[in-house]
Amino acid sequence: MTENGLALVGRFFQASLPTLNEHIPDIMACSAAGLVGEGSECLGFDDAISRDHDWGAAFCLWIPDALFASERERIEKALALLPASFEGHPVRMAPQLRMGRVGPLPLRGFYRRFLGIDRVPSTWQEWRAIPEYHLCSCTNGAVFMDGSGEFTAFRDALLAYYPEDIRLKKIAARCMVMAQAGQYNLARALQREETVTAMLAAARFSEAALSMAFLLNRRFMPFYKWAARMAKSLPLLGRETAETLQTLAHTAWDEPDRAVPAVEAVEALCASVADELRRQGLTAEPGSWLWPLGPSVQRNVNDPEVRRLNVMED
């Protein structure tokens, strides 16, 4: 069984801590350490396939930006004292092995890389401009220690999730795409025996449905290749969404008669989404046809500028 990367890194950090505290105690006292960012191990999804690149024992050391710039030589000398292997696994703390993902990182520079700004977004325009998977990438994984608390405070502010107006705007847009691609165009494409169109409609529906599940749970959706896997653990409609998309994935789109269960699964999921939107008080519209529910949800947006945005768009 493949070693879980996050657990391995946690043990490696604890084993490394005495050395770092001995040689750079002042820096450790005001820095944070953990494993957050890109890579399957940050999501706990690494497996045997993950070990072919960028895998091993390595942690992030987030250092206040000014200190990172002025004490880089001392930091590197301390990190050079760490072993080249740990519990039989390679250590990736040497500069040439980090790939910009682990090792010493400027604290606010780390967030700037994903957000485009080095502070928590403060306007709806700033929140809207950040790709959702970037928000997931800078809030996933684990923080093992945080001397000053600055890194964790930034992280917690992001994990508080989107401002409600932005969440509602995104939910409204997902309603429209799920209705258009899944409830409308998918069945029509199958009736016309337009295989490629059916495949594309199913794909657009799938991505929108996954996003909807994360929005309803107030969780940031990861990069697309991990979204379905993570969705399974979401308490609200997560498993139903994953199972519906599994049905779509196993559908022979060039055999319309055999695609009936897929169309039925799409309708069932849309009905569940409509019920959840009503349960959360986001709409009073009846029925499971999501097209009218999108504008209904958007009418709950408080900011007039956000409320006036095209309902089909984020």
Phi then psi dihedrals of residue 22, to 5 deg? -75, -40
Tell me the C-alpha distance between 61 and 207, whole Å: 34
Question: What is the structure's pLDDT at 191?
Answer: 92
Tell me the C-alpha distance between 193 and 187, whole Å: 10
Question: Letter for the amino acid at 76?
Answer: E
Phi then psi dihedrals of residue 34, to 5 deg? 170, -160
Question: What is the structure's pLDDT at 1?
Answer: 40
Tell me the C-alpha distance between 117 and 113, whole Å: 8
C-alpha pair distances (Å), 209 with each of 81, 165, 218, 231, 289? 48, 19, 14, 10, 14
Q: Are 118 and 111 in contact (CB under 8 A)?
A: yes
Task: Report the chain (314 residues): mean pLDDT per 10 consecutive residues.
Answer: 79 98 98 95 80 78 97 97 93 92 97 97 98 97 97 98 98 98 96 94 98 98 95 97 96 87 96 98 98 98 98 93
Predicted confidence (pLDDT) per residue in 210-264, tens digit: 999 999 999 999 999 999 999 999 999 999 999 999 999 999 988 888 889 999 9
Q: What is the residue extent of each domain of the chain?
A: 5-159, 164-307
Tell me the C-alpha distance between 170 and 2, whole Å: 37
Question: What is the structure's pLDDT at 2?
Answer: 53
